[in-house]
Amino acid sequence: MILSAVRQKCEAFFATPFPTAFKRKWLMRISILSILVLALFVSYANTGKGQDLNDKRFSVRFDNTSLKDVFTRLSELTEFNFAYRNADIRPASHVTYSDREVTLGDVLTNILPARALRYVQNGYNVIIVKAKDTVPSNYSRYGNRAMVIPASLRLLKGQVLDSITGLPLAGAVIRSKSAHGLATTSDNQGRFELRVPKPSQYITTEYIGYTTKTTKLQSGIDHYTILLASAEATLNSVVVNGIFDRPMENFTGAATQVTAEQLRQVSNRNVLDALKSIDPSFRIPENLNFGSDPNHLASVEIRGGNSINSAVSGSSGINLKQDYESDPNLPLFILDGFEVSLQKVYDLDMTRIKSVDLLKDAAATAIYGSKAANGVLVITTFAPKPGRLRLSYNGNFTLNMPDLTSYDLLNAMEKVQFEKAAGVYTDIHHIGASQENLDILYSRRLAEAQRGVNTYWLSQPLRTAFGQKHSINVEGGDQAMRYSVDLSYNNDASGVMKGSGRTNYSAGVQLVYNVKKFRFQNRLSVAYNHSVNSPYGSFGDYSKLNPYWRPYDSLGNIQQVMENYDDIGVSPVYNPMYDATLHSKDLSQYLNITENFQAEWNMGAGFKTRAQFSLQTQKDQYDKFVSALANQFASGYSGEDYFKRGSYTLENGNSLRYQGTLTLNYGKAIGKNTLYGTAGFQVENSENKVVGIRAVGFPNDRLDDINYANLYEKDSRPYGTDAKSRSVGYLANASYAYDNRYLLDASFRMDGSSKFGTDSRYAPFWSLGLGWNMHKEAFMQTLKWINQLKLRASYGQTGSQNFDSYMSLTTYKYLVDERYRTGVGAVLLSLGNSDLQWQKTPKMNIGADMAFLNSRLLISGNYFIEKSDGLITSITLAPSSGFSNYVANLGKVQNKGEEIYLTGFLIKNTKKNIFWSITANLFHNENKILEISDALKELNEKNLESQQGSGGTTAPVLLYREGLSTNTIWAVRSLGIDPSNGYEVFIKKDGTLTNTWDPRDEVPVGNTDADIYGTLGPMSCTKVLVSIFVCAQIWGRTPIIQPLLTA
């Protein structure tokens, strides 16, 4: 049913822009391709290669070939590794042998006995020895030479393999636990040799992404096969940043790591809601205008905003976000190594998420250069697991209920009396209205209240919404190939506003293929979203309605006009619930297709090359039809305007993005030295195009297609935007550890972008981190109660480029409605700035990670300072220039604060896998404006002007002053009502008293940011699968109280 629903939605979605034949052919090709790929996966899983010498058949021919060349050729044909001593095979005669459809066991049985040789199999290794000998244990390595081992040392050999797939792990670090400095790394086939003192009892094996394993050495056994398990249960051992991975023990940056289990313990709605409850530095600022609207993409901040608030808007109509193509405070989102949008993360199926890494400071984020100023959110999804074909299903059901307990509103009688006391019904407060008419208005409203009319408007547009999520996953495969197919349906985001909802359908096919030194991964995913906004309008409108108004007439039908006293000059009041009875619609939808490909080449000697490529295409459509019978057309439409009632807005968008990354990675342990390195480059191209029209004049409520429109909206024509950008980045990182005690981490990136001026195309970004694992010092070994004490510090510079593509360019507008003899004319639209460049954000972080009492108490803390310099702001120009402003790098904002993360294990039994833990996290940040531009100063004045006059707003507005926070609350202070005259007493800016409210007397009275953000929980108990999220608290926040008085 899910596939059918997706198909139907896709067909309906593409019906307008594509011919029917083309659409069917395109959908058929995708369906056939998916079926063939799935069939290939399943068939290959059943015929994959195992570890038996007789599993694979092949044809072979040798003509007078040396044994060494024979073994080389057999290794190429079968992927088995051959080990031997040159002295053993050198005397053997050359081989002449030919056969078809034989196995490796057949070939060896035919050619070795005649040469007095035999073989011993050990996993994927075939060891060649003399017929009368046992497998040797004193060779320094198999191959072309032998070495005498000192009597004081013991030579260990072995192979490191994945415990599930059996594939060799190249680059694993094997150390002697008793002798510091004795370490080695596994080669391309996972093999290793390590000399350890003969009294040694243990060796440890470490590999990124796997749990560190300690192996006890047995007397007389010098060859070990070490199986490492994936570290899904202990993901905090590795930091993933989307370009490379680093062991947490060697990491000097600030990062929060969250597993899939932790996410599900808190929320199964979306990953953003879950993260804000786990890490208080990850904030989604509240917006009372949108509430729980499931179709509104909220703003996201990590460690506060590094730019001016993008949601600034006064009644003057100025909105700073008009200059940005996305929120300037939005972090960078990375999904499986590729950059994605906030929308993609918001709609992501949570059952696919394996882990989330929240990167914060320069050491953790500088590798992303010009996009890392606001932090980086790295999401890793589950890879297919090998084994027999498995089918899994996951279902979630939720109830979303509105909570109105925080509202304490007046009832109808109280409201009428309050209005009278406030002077609503006196001619002093209503200039131009006679006292007689005001007395009549009061008596009529009082009569309604006395009749028992007492409407609780807040509950009228609300409901208890039922949500559901279903996902199906099919996976399997073997050591060489793994596959998975996933389908999901998500209707969990049904809003509490009646009629609102957000539904997601998604499907994906993933393939992982291993062949010799290469590993290939490919994922094709298709996602369809359908969002509907509530026909009841904005919840804020209902909070302003009076309780003495009736929503229904005497017959129980929703009435359009709730109050209409024309006889006394009172304008009609319209019921917002009436619009919900009409055939209006407000919906959007998109179809996203993403192709991700990754290839890895294990070059050996610690080197690995990785190539990544992603292609994303998305088609969006927005439809809003307002019926001619709606409230907004109820008055003011007479004469010719009568036929302009009803409106339709249609917008279509197309986006295309492709990204490519090529990196060379290195990892090696030499004695006490461990070195990791990465170098590479990234390229990206992004194209977005939107075309829209607005039409009016619809003769019938049911004729809701734009084809029935009478004409364009007045003074309008088709509109749109077209944005293109390209960027390239060159990156490098080096991480060094001496004896796992002293740590050094350095990153550098050079970014170039078409978004910036021709004189500032490239900019460097860098970081330097230092760390000290103090708990590994000799003088700390006697303190058994201290399990970890790591100190770290970092400093570096990152950047931000979350703004429009053409801000650095001088742009023109064609005069399509005017013609000249030489052709179409054009005028300057905006003045470019060839020196425009990135916002730069230097970051300093000092932190510590501690574990005590057998790791029962875990403490991590950070102190940070982030200063954004060169904010993208508008500069006011003289009128004689012909432009009001242009864009430049001016303005500075600073964030300074602390983070503390605590985890305590009340019960910790690792043997029986029983844990009972509780977490407490605290976050404090001080935001301060260090410098603002002339344009922001002008915005302050216009916001103040918007509060003046009879039509001015009394709601608090945002003002920006140097030395204060970007989220400072401004208000005129009040001492309350003077009982002698009934007038309110205000405190002027200079401290004197007055009865006149003046916005020029506004002073800072608070901040929308809390002094401390904190979370407590989840209190979880593993083994019995109990998880309780206790609370998420905010301390010190100043609430904003907006007047809701409506007369």
| Per-residue pLDDT reduced to its tens digit, 958-972 | 678 888 888 888 888
Full DSSP string of 584-608? -EEEEEEEEEEEEEEEEEEEETTEE
Is the pLDDT confidence value at 682 over 80? yes
Which range is least confidently modeled, 138-142, 809-813, 851-855? 138-142
Instruction: Provide mean pLDDT across the span 234-260.
Output: 80
* Tally of CB atoms within 10 A around 833: 21
Looking at residue 162, its pLDDT comes to: 79
Pairing status of strand 585-604 against strand 518-532:
antiparallel
- Name the percent of the chain lying above pLDDT 90: 32
Is the pLDDT confidence value at 379 over 80? yes
Is the pLDDT confidence value at 181 over 90? no
Max mean pLDDT range (408-422, 577-591, 898-912): 577-591
Task: Domain 57-130: give its CATH code.
Answer: 3.55.50.30
User: Cβ-count burial of 428 within 10 angstroms (0-12 exposed, 13-18 middle, 19+ buried)?
Assistant: exposed
Instruction: Provide mean pLDDT across the span 613-636.
Output: 93
Instruction: Provide mean pLDDT across the span 126-131.
Output: 81
Looking at residue 527, its pLDDT comes to: 95
Is the pLDDT confidence value at 189 over 70? yes
Better-scored residue on pLDDT, 328 or 67: 67
pLDDT averaged over every residue in the chain: 80
Looking at residue 584, its pLDDT comes to: 93
Is the pLDDT confidence value at 910 over 80? no
Looking at residue 514, its pLDDT comes to: 87
Q: Which of 245, 246, 243 is nearest to 337 (CA)?
A: 243
State the pLDDT confidence band at 586, using cuts at 50, 70 and 90.
Answer: very high
Instruction: Provide mean pLDDT across the span 810-831.
Output: 75
Instruction: Classify 360 as helix, strand or coil.
Output: coil
State the pLDDT confidence band at 433, using cuts at 50, 70 and 90.
Answer: low
Q: Give the chain's end-to-end CA distance (angstroms, integer).
A: 53
Looking at residue 407, its pLDDT comes to: 84
Which range is least confidently modeled, 31-45, 350-364, 374-388, 975-989? 31-45
Fold (CATH) for 259-326+331-383: Ferric Hydroxamate Uptake Protein; Chain A, domain 1 (2.170.130)
d(CA 263, CA 272): 10
Is the pLDDT confidence value at 507 over 90? yes
Looking at residue 863, its pLDDT comes to: 97
Instruction: Provide mean pLDDT across the span 899-921.
Output: 80
Is the pLDDT confidence value at 1019 over 80? no
Q: How far is CA 178 from CA 199, 220, 480, 507, 780, in A?
A: 9, 19, 37, 51, 16
Looking at residue 947, its pLDDT comes to: 66
Domain formed by 153-229, architecture: Sandwich (2.60)
Max mean pLDDT range (104-118, 346-360, 580-594): 580-594
- Biggest CA pair distance of the chain: 125
State the pLDDT confidence band at 3, using cuts at 50, 70 and 90.
Answer: very low
Instruction: Provide mean pLDDT across the span 282-310.
Output: 74
d(CA 770, CA 374): 22
Better-scored residue on pLDDT, 230 or 1016: 1016
Which range is least confidently modeled, 294-303, 475-484, 1033-1042? 1033-1042
Phi–psi pair at 380, nearest 5 degrees: -115, 130
Looking at residue 949, its pLDDT comes to: 54
Is the pLDDT confidence value at 324 over 50? no
Every domain of the chain and the residues it spans: 2-46, 57-130, 153-229, 259-326+331-383, 412-455
The dihedral of CA 50, 52, 55, 59: what is its sign?
Answer: positive
State the pLDDT confidence band at 427, using cuts at 50, 70 and 90.
Answer: low
Looking at residue 320, its pLDDT comes to: 29
Phi–psi pair at 320, nearest 5 degrees: -65, -20
Is the pLDDT confidence value at 314 over 50? no
Q: What is the DSSP letter of 125?
A: E
Better-scored residue on pLDDT, 697 or 870: 697
State the pLDDT confidence band at 267, using cuts at 50, 70 and 90.
Answer: confident
Q: How far is CA 350 from CA 269, 274, 996, 1031, in A?
A: 8, 10, 55, 22
609's tokens: 């090359």
Looking at residue 429, its pLDDT comes to: 56
d(CA 614, CA 660): 7
Better-scored residue on pLDDT, 274 or 321: 274
Looking at residue 503, its pLDDT comes to: 92
State the pLDDT confidence band at 938, using cuts at 50, 70 and 90.
Answer: confident
**Model pLDDT for residues 725-772, shown as the tens digit of each residue:** 899 999 999 999 998 899 999 999 999 988 877 777 888 999 999 999
Looking at residue 113, its pLDDT comes to: 85
Is the pLDDT confidence value at 695 over 70? yes
Q: How far is CA 657 from CA 35, 686, 762, in A?
A: 26, 4, 21
The dihedral of CA 255, 256, 260, 264: what is its sign?
Answer: negative
- Kindly state the helix (H) or strand (E) to which residue 901 belongs, with its residue range: strand 892-909
On whether the pTM is more than 0.95, the answer is no
Which range is least confidently modeled, 17-26, 439-448, 619-628? 17-26
- Kindly state the helix (H) or strand (E) to which residue 862 belongs, with its residue range: strand 857-869
Residue pair 526/487 in contact (Cβ under 8 Å)? The answer is: no
Which range is least confidently modeled, 8-22, 667-681, 976-990? 8-22
Is the pLDDT confidence value at 7 over 80? no
d(CA 330, CA 372): 10
Looking at residue 416, its pLDDT comes to: 93
Looking at residue 140, its pLDDT comes to: 37
Strand partners, 158: 192, 224
Looking at residue 96, its pLDDT comes to: 85
